[in-house]
Amino acid sequence: MLTYNHSVLTNNGSWLTDGSVAPPVPSDEVTIGTQTWKKSNLKVDDGQGGIVSYHIGIVNGFDYGTRYYYNRDAAERIAGNIQGWHLPSKAEWETLCSYGLSNIKSSTGWNSNNGTDIYGFTLTPDGLANTTEVQKVGEYGYYWTSTHKDTYNYFLYCYMEDTSAVFGYSNSTYYAVRLIKD
């Protein structure tokens, strides 16, 4: 079980201090309507595989720094082990997006059609990844959901031109993870 103790993450009581884990910070939250979300993508590597990270740097005026991407199994495993938070369902993403996709998209970083980010959610176009590269940064944002369709999971994807949420499903690509409070 991964838990917080201020800004330090522990794994079953053992401190993770090797630099491979950058836990979410408790003040990194935003409440929109009745939902409380993390304002940044998950940055946890538990060492059990299914996770890739890439240093992206600055794209379209937004400093992405190092970004973490998860396959479906890793997204579910890690989100399921962070107390008080979970991988959002498709319905929870739809509720968030009902406040207007442009209102939750980051105000920089998109190739075109930046959002207004009036809520401070900062949905970024992190693209998607595989084990050798990251693709479509600045153009698309891909985020896992916990909702299954047969042997696949739904994911939210936002194209720079989109004004409403679009969902697809996959079981093999690496996407970003945002957490929602239990």
Tens-binned pLDDT, residue by residue, of the chain (182 aa):
454 444 444 444 444 444 455 555 446 899 999 999 999 999 999 999 999 999 999 999 999 999 999 998 999 999 999 999 999 998 999 899 999 989 999 999 999 889 999 999 999 999 999 999 999 999 988 999 988 887 777 787 776 676 767 788 787 789 999 999 99
Report the C-alpha gap between 47 and 45 in whole angstroms.
5
Report the C-alpha gap between 70 and 90 in whole angstroms.
17
Give the chain's domain count. Answer: 1
Picking from 142, 179, 171, 180, the residue whose alpha carbon sits closest to that of residue 158 is: 142
Tell me the CA distances in angstroms from 161 to 10, 31, 46, 94, 135, one per residue in order.
40, 25, 35, 18, 17
Residue range(s) defining the domain that contains residue 49: 2-181
Q: What is the pLDDT of residue 157?
A: 75
Report the C-alpha gap between 59 and 68 in whole angstroms.
16
Q: What is the pLDDT of residue 160?
A: 66
Collapsing DSSP to helix, strand or coil, 146 comes out as: strand
Q: What is the pLDDT of residue 154?
A: 77
* Residues forming beta bridges with residue 11, ordered by sequence position: 2, 14
Residue 91 phi, psi (nearest 5): -65, -40
- 98 Cβ partners below 8 Å, 6+ apart? none
- Give the DSSP H or E segment for 28: none
Q: What is the pLDDT of residue 180?
A: 97
pTM above 0.95, yes or no: no
Count CB-CB contacts under 10 A for residue 49.
11
